[in-house]
Amino acid sequence: MPLLTVKNLTLGYEGRTVADGISFAVDSGDYLCIIGENGSGKTTLMRAVLRLNSPISGSIETGGGLKSTEIGYLPQQTEVQRDFPASVREIVLSGNAGHAGLRPFYSAAEKAAALSNMEKLGIAHLAKRCYRELSGGQQQRVLLARALCATRKLLLLDEPVSGLDPEAAAEMYDIIDRLNQEGITVIMISHDISAALKYATHILRIGSEIFFGSRNEYIKSRQFADFSAAYGSGEE
């Protein structure tokens, strides 16, 4: 039973279709990269999986004991967050808000989980620092630690390295890869084909032509040949 099964999905908003015919399945332990041009509906697809917006048609089912609220999400940063007065600890703790229900305060176990996730991502020493004063890479690690508080099973990452310098980006990829090795399933939106091919086990390409399959199948596929011809090998 796959963790996530998406069948024949049509996505759009305000009555306009942005993507259709999307079908894929994600098994526990997979590392799926979603690629496609700007405006092809990558973020819309991710938001649909998170139940933040509803698809025009098609189905999204979770399985393998995964509840739809057990998905950790690393969204693209919003304008509000750039000048938000909050400490690293406050933000990481807020990853627990979903499973606290109506309980007003965080339990000792939730606080311990927040601390261990900060340690895992090497930001424990920043716990009291102000989020907006951190570097881009540190901010992404804070948001990733928050996502880990929400889930131990499935992470959805929306362009986790956008805006980072190459060094911070490489570090971020390493961290994500390590989490995947530890058994966390990863679905990542990426612009960076070379990173997608280096780390991912599966590739989903949406847009004018849709592809879903393993990394090796993608490399063999015609679309990749076309892409390589048009844009070079994708390596830098």
| Interface residue list for other proteins (CB under 8 A) | 13, 47, 50-52, 68-69, 71, 73, 75, 78, 80-81, 84-87, 90-91, 93-95, 97-100, 104-106, 128, 130, 132-133, 146-147, 150
Token output for 108: 């000792």
Rounded Cα distance between 95 and 38, Å, is: 29
Phi/psi at 63 (nearest 5 deg)?
-145, -170
> If residue 136 lies in a helix (H) or strand (E), which one and from where to where?
helix 136-150
User: Quick count: other Cβ atoms within 10 Å of Cβ 39?
Assistant: 11
Query: Residue 30 or residue 110: which is nearer to other proteins going by CB?
Result: 110
Instruction: State in angstroms the smallest separation of the CB of 93 from other proteins.
Output: 8
Contact criterion met (CB below 8 Å) for 22 and 58: yes
Query: Residue 49 or residue 197: which is nearer to other proteins going by CB?
Result: 49
Instruction: State in angstroms the smallest separation of the CB of 69 from other proteins.
Output: 3
Instruction: State in angstroms the smallest separation of the CB of 27 from other proteins.
Output: 21
Query: Residue 70 or residue 213: which is nearer to other proteins going by CB?
Result: 70
Instruction: State in angstroms the smallest separation of the CB of 75 from other proteins.
Output: 5
- Smallest CA-to-CA distance from 160 within 72, 229, 226, 65 is with 72
Query: Residue 129 or residue 221: which is nearer to other proteins going by CB?
Result: 129
Amino acid sitting at position 91: I
